[in-house]
Amino acid sequence: EIVLTQSPATLSLSPGERATLSCRASQSVGNFLAWYQQKPGQAPRLLFFDGTSRATGIPARFSGSGSGTDFTLTISSLEPEDFAVYYCQQRNKWPLTFGGGTKVEIK
Amino acid sequence: QVHLVESGGGLVKPGGSLRLSCAASGFAFSDYYMGWIRQAPGKGLEWTSYISSGRQNTNYPDSLKGRFTISRDNAKNSLYLEMNSLRPDDTAVYYCARVRWPNSYYFDSWGQGTLVTVSS
């Protein structure tokens, strides 16, 4: 199965700062990668699909990039509501797999 | 507005069975592929199953094949997950999720989840 490794595990930043989250795949997934945001006690929310396509209602401060084995989620300027855990997910090969997550916490 | 509501979770002994349900509303349920994803306490997300819109196709990770069965009733706008031979490591919140149209295998709407605890 394709293993997705997310780094760093935890990112400590202040509101207004830029966040850069990485997702690396054990083999190429093409551009078939999604990003999700999960806040405590809530279900995940789809942010991006196919690497760079923003899901409905996602603010422009979020951007997705990458292809093949290396992907990045960038938040240009952190808002208070952006502090959460972020997961990547690939759909290139069965089984569908998720990364272990990156927690973005307030510094 | 898409609404997914899971039910059926609870405490079950190791080796036991449980059937989860998910009631869908706010969209044309019969047009969408659906799936179940679980999250063990304090852990990450794990995909457990998916089913096509017309029920012809299902898929599971190898680790769950034979124990978990996903099904749906399009007339009732409902999704189900039958879980057998449950083990303590099946303890998790189970989310029902809609696959983003058209069948992209990304999950664009999620329920709030139902907790399954497997313990003696």
Dump pLDDT digits (tens) for B21-33.
999 999 999 999 9
Please check the confidence at residue B99 and state whether its pLDDT lies above 80: yes
For testing contact with chain A, the best of B22, B50, B107 (most A CBs within 10 A) = B107
**Interchain proximity A94–B110, CB inside 8 Å:** no
Q: Number of helices (H) and strands (E), helices first, in chain B?
A: 0, 11
Token pair recorded at residue B70: 């996903």
In this prediction, residue B55 has a pLDDT band, given cuts at 50, 70 and 90, of confident
DSSP letter at B43? S
Task: Quote the radius of gyration of chain B (alpha carbons, Å).
Answer: 13
DSSP A61: T
The pLDDT > 70 percentage for chain B reads 100
d(CA B97, CA B6): 10
> Is B6 in contact with B95 (CB distance < 8 Å)?
yes
Q: Do B99 and B54 contact (CB within 8 A), yes or no?
A: no
Q: Assign B104 a pLDDT band (cuts: 50, 70, 90).
A: confident
Task: Find the mean pLDDT for residues B64-77.
Answer: 96
Which of B61, B95, B108 lies closest to A95 in CB terms? B61
pLDDT < 50: residue spans in chain A: none
Cβ distance of A46 and B108 shorter than 8 Å? yes
- For range B29-45, the mean pLDDT: 97
Closest C-alpha among B47, B45, B73 to residue B60? B47
Lowest mean pLDDT of A60-64, B81-85, B103-107, name the range.
Answer: B103-107
Closest CB from B44, B60, B111 relative to A43: B111
What local confidence, expressed as pLDDT, does residue B63 receive?
95
Q: Kindly tell me if the per-residue pLDDT of B114 is higher than 90.
A: yes
